[in-house]
Chain A
Amino acid sequence: MVCLDPILNDGSFTAGEKPPATGSLIVFENVFHRYPGRGKQPPTEAVYDFSAALDPGSLVCLLGPAGCGKSTVLNILAGFEKPSQGRVLVDGKEVKKPGPDRGMVFQESNLLPWRKVMENITFGPDLAGEPKKATLKKAERFIKLTGLSGFENHAPYELSGGMKQRVALARAWISEPPILVMDEPFGALDAQTRLDMQELLVRVWEKTGSTILFVTHDVDEALFLADRILIMSPRPGTKILDLTLPLPRPRVYENLVVNPQYATLKREILLAMRRPDYAI
């Protein structure tokens, strides 16, 4: 590993290395994923020897170019896909199937159009058979927090894209899962809304203390949100850089962009993304 700055690379380990397995909430152990090709088409190597260990309570961003296998890594953690090799441990137990301990926020909002906004948010607790009254109270808190007051009884198709995404966030947050898995949830939002949502995410994360794995291909978003950034190479995706951000919190975006540390980190990331071989 070529290091521009030693402090940027602490906690990193390169492909093939055994990840530390103790004290981590989520552990990816040499995960490979290959999608079988259809008919005569060759199979797609999506993820190649991906390893990482995430501390409980951390907010980790997975950063990489389009099609590099970020969603695949998330889907394996969520239990939607089985790795073709390697395994993922959550709390020391191997992931076999999806479960409510890992809240999901998808790239699309995936709201249920036959449920009103409020009913979408309470869907998880309703399924778990939790008492209606307590659920409604919690839901109201998240409605307020996400700025959806007044839209409780709207249908999802009566909302803007940004509002839909906020409903999806509230739906994932209401159950306060120990792990939140987020796949480019703000990818389709305008810059203004996106900043609001990022700040909201950090606020809720600080309050709930959940562990978040957040996928993005936006370097600034990763730098604003993360404790730690994992950077993936183009497909087949493997980890090429593992940065622990020394940026203090609370972070204010306007101040962050003129912070010299921020500039150095961004340069490091951009270099790694443009020259994957250079970083490894």
Chain B
Amino acid sequence: MIGSSVSPGLSPGLSPGLAVLISVSSVLLFLGAWYVCGRLELLSSAILPPPEEIWYTTVDILRFGYHQIPLWKHVGVSLLRALTAFALAICAGVPLGLAMGLFPVLSSALEPFVQFFRPLPKIALIPLAILWLGIGEVSKIFLIFLSTLFTVVVGSAASVKTVSRGKLRLGAALGTNSWQLIYHIILPASLPEIFTSVRLAIGVGWTTLIASEMVAADSGMGWMVMNASSYMRTDLVLLGIILLGVTGYLLDYALVLIERLAVPWAGKE
């Protein structure tokens, strides 16, 4: 019943098998509806190609590649750019955010810059990125890095504030020095929040992929979509969109799995 599953954690929820079954059926239902629309010729295939046409395109691209580059290379190149940027953003953003959360002086000093850059549309930075870093991989990675970084920083800084006063007091009562308090209490207690902000940030960063591949690229999923659209290849555009969406989905799922291993206590206190 819908009514009994509204509040998370209170009702037992669906069994994992049933949950997957419902999700799969809803996707199949959607594809079926799409197929029927195509069959009835409700939409011209230039506006919305039916699923089977996208399937043929996929098979074709898998065999011959797009612009002489195999499909897996387009996916791989994009992933490499994004993952490099994510790794750099996490390595820089988490410590920086934690430091801002811990030291108010640092937070006050950096806050204006962080809040200026975080909502800034990163496309606006493309000219500068090209000017400073050229048209190679570095400027593409830099754009994704920037859009990921600030969300990670803000989230990590905020995570420090979520550490309960009880835990901090416990640490103090047991005689922790500052470093012990950070290492044994604040860091692990912030970890679930940090994971949440990293997931959010990667979502934001992934959306910047297309923008970054507008910078003189000749491969990548984002570039493929932009390039195909200039030839009115709606089927290829859709294929690219599906690939971008599915890869983003899988990235997030991988993070969820890592989170489950790293912070098994999240939400269980």
Contacts and interface: CB of A to CB of B under 8 A. Distances in A.
A82 to B, nearest CB: 14
B173 A127 contact: no
Interface in A87-105: 97-100, 102-104
Given A104-B169, A106-B169, A114 B188 contact: yes
B167 A112 contact: yes
Nearest to A114: B188
B175 A124 contact: yes
A12 to B, nearest CB: 30
B269 A98 contact: no
Contacts of B185: 112
Contacts of A103: 173
A128 B170 contact: no
Contacts of B119: none
B174 A100 contact: yes
Contacts of B172: 79-80, 97-98
Given A155-B265, A157-B265, A110 B166 contact: yes
B107 interface: no
Main secondary structure, interface of A, reads: loop
A113 interface: yes
A53 B180 CA distance: 34
Contacts of A128: 175
Contacts of B269: 113, 156-157
B176 interface: yes
A153 to B, nearest CB: 13
A210 B13 CA distance: 48
A104 B167 CA distance: 12
A114 B167 CA distance: 12
Interface in B142-192: 164, 166-167, 169-170, 172-176, 180, 184-185, 188-189, 191
Interface residues of B, number: 21
A108 interface: yes
Main secondary structure, interface of B, reads: helix
A110 B165 CA distance: 10
Interface string B227-269: 0000000000000000000000000000000000001110011
A155 B170 contact: no
Contacts of A127: 174-176, 180, 184
A155 B189 CA distance: 15
A123 interface: yes
Contacts of B189: 112
Contacts of A78: 169, 173
A103 B189 CA distance: 22
Nearest to B167: A110
Contacts of A79: 172
Contacts of B263: 114
B174 A123 contact: yes
Contact of B188 (A98, A112, A155, A157): A112
Contacts of A106: 166, 169-170
Contacts of B166: 106, 108, 110
Contacts of B176: 127
A152 B112 CA distance: 48
Interface string B45-79: 00000000000000000000000000000000000
A102 B185 CA distance: 19
A157 B263 CA distance: 12
A191 to B, nearest CB: 25
B176 to A, nearest CB: 6
A157 B267 CA distance: 10
A167 B170 CA distance: 13
Interface centre among B170, B265, B268, B269 (most CB of A within 10 A): B170
A124 to B, nearest CB: 5
Nearest to B267: A157
Interface in A103-134: 103-104, 106, 108, 110, 112-114, 123-124, 127-128
A98 B170 CA distance: 9
A104 B265 contact: no
A106 B170 CA distance: 8
A66 B257 CA distance: 44
A110 B170 contact: yes
A234 B188 CA distance: 39
B174 A113 contact: no
A123 B176 CA distance: 10
Interface of B: 164, 166-167, 169-170, 172-176, 180, 184-185, 188-189, 191, 263-265, 268-269
17 contacts: A98-B172, A99-B173, A100-B173, A100-B174, A103-B173, A104-B170, A112-B167, A112-B184, A112-B185, A114-B188, A114-B263, A124-B175, A127-B184, A128-B175, A156-B265, A156-B269, A157-B265
Which 8 pairs from chain A and chain B are nearest by CB? A113-B265, A100-B175, A98-B172, A157-B268, A104-B173, A110-B166, A114-B188, A124-B174
Given A98-B172, A104-B173, 8 more contacts: A80-B169, A104-B169, A112-B167, A112-B184, A114-B263, A124-B174, A127-B175, A127-B180
